[in-house]
Chain A
């Protein structure tokens, strides 16, 4: 008998892409996609269930279909639809609690994969340069998505204690950057001018969606217990990334950024306190465990993932002229 996989958060890009991947997987019989809104793209042979994971109905779906693998992707950093921070927290934390409660009661369940984020490590000047899976954050995230992700992981640890027979994998992704990915960080490089924090230059790490998808697919179809960091090799500095994007930077004093963030949120730009702390202190993770134990080496480095992303968004007009001038002067000199 084949496998039945349930994927949450399929309305978003990564979720629907994973469902299409699993459709083609030979040992997967049935794929069920769940989300509160209908997916924008076609899910192929997969079934879509429009359900809110905060609702106990999810338990019925899992029970009736005898789901053996749950891939939980609906913990998101972007505000869901029209709702604000409260709605996001509700969906992230309460949704996970309900889902885990349903999973705990499902005898058919063999595997649980949870998409988390490297945001759980926080960002502070007192942290080591690279976080390993065992590093305790110096300053625990106190707000926003990072706090949600940390709470979600805490509930997952509780689930692991109660259902030790289930292979549980927690994947901490660095910022996924690519076409169709809508996150605060991709939004940042979509702006005509990239805001930076005055006096700081954050180290950033990116994952290409191809790598994110490959890791999720493997986690869904193979047994990999434990927590793994997922990030492209190497880092880019925020200023360096902005230059590669051909965009001018606008250094803002940290405090001013926090105040401006309150106003800009209404204008569509989500300059949340956690994004500001990321842009201030930066964050990089060690992926040795992913490479050695999980057995996957990301094909795109951070720089390559960013370059791919740039090829997909329109280049900035800002530094074009300066680059041309310097180039011309350079060739004249040679």
Chain B
């Protein structure tokens, strides 16, 4: 059964659990936790002092982890209609990618101030055989934007058909790349992420790195036009070099029913070790928003306008990519 006393007593612990990763200078609460803990554990003040701040931090982490565990076991968390589970996404799903973001790729973000309040459509270039670029963009906005924005990526239907991948993609906040879902999210003020090159972009050979592929049918532009949400052209540099695709095993891809099977310098030759991405240096630049609310009603049904806007977005991203590449000293530093 659900835990009734939780709602009365657990409130403080819950908020504690949530602020741990983001709010290191939380002194008041820390002291309160120490005070409450002292009589129960039976530690004297001297011992407690000896353990010091480190002990108190561990104490707080343990309390947070337990509160999290309790919520998970009792099912006492909210999931939105797309299947996004923020509690799980922040505490578990995104966690393993944080070291990758901070120390492996050393991602530098620019233009975070260009992210509008409320709804917006982040449109990025896609590369690197597995969508690490989408995950890094999510982290950039979640951990480094002052408002801790949650990016809601749109994924191909293949993603949601795959066991585990589809499940966790939804829980992390993704949904199917289709008009109704994009519009529903934008209407409710979400920040939606889309990589319109799709498989053509993410699976392209290394020789074509940083050359934007065709932008699908421009469905993302139509969704933005219908909802009046601004488009934020986003350039991601570094993802191309994580898994340089030298070849593509078409036969294997056909057998497995997937769009491509990449052959990289390390994969599949080194087996599981080949899955380790190269430690390229990353840049993510959010460009100035392109407004879409000045067009008349029904503009989304004008294919010429949709293609024009898609081209404009594509051009901005391509130019930004060239500029960032010029500024980059080397692939890895």
Contact = CB atoms under 8 A, between A and B. Distances in A.
A128 B176 contact: yes
A243 B69 CA distance: 12
B2 A244 contact: yes
Interface residues of B, number: 46
B90 interface: no
Contacts of B10: 330
B79 A235 contact: yes
A130 interface: yes
B304 interface: no
A243 B71 CA distance: 10
A243 B73 contact: yes
A237 B171 CA distance: 10
Given A330-B13, A330-B67, A334-B36, A236 B181 contact: no
Interface string A241-280: 1111010000000100000000000000000000000000
A166 to B, nearest CB: 31
B79 A330 contact: no
A333 B75 contact: no
A241 B37 CA distance: 33
Interface stretch (A25-33, A43-51, A198-206): A198-206
Interface in B27-58: 33, 36-37, 40-41
A62 to B, nearest CB: 40
Given A128-B181, A237-B83, A333-B63, A200 B166 contact: yes
A333 B37 contact: yes
Contacts of A2: none
A17 B9 CA distance: 40
Contacts of B74: 243-244, 323
B225 to A, nearest CB: 18
A30 B76 CA distance: 47
Nearest to B161: A125
A241 B74 CA distance: 9
Interface of A: 125-130, 132, 135, 198-201, 203, 234-237, 239-244, 246, 254, 281-282, 284, 307, 310, 315, 319, 322-323, 326-327, 329-334
Given A126-B176, A240-B79, A310-B1, 7 more contacts: A126-B161, A199-B167, A203-B79, A246-B1, A329-B66, A330-B66, A330-B70
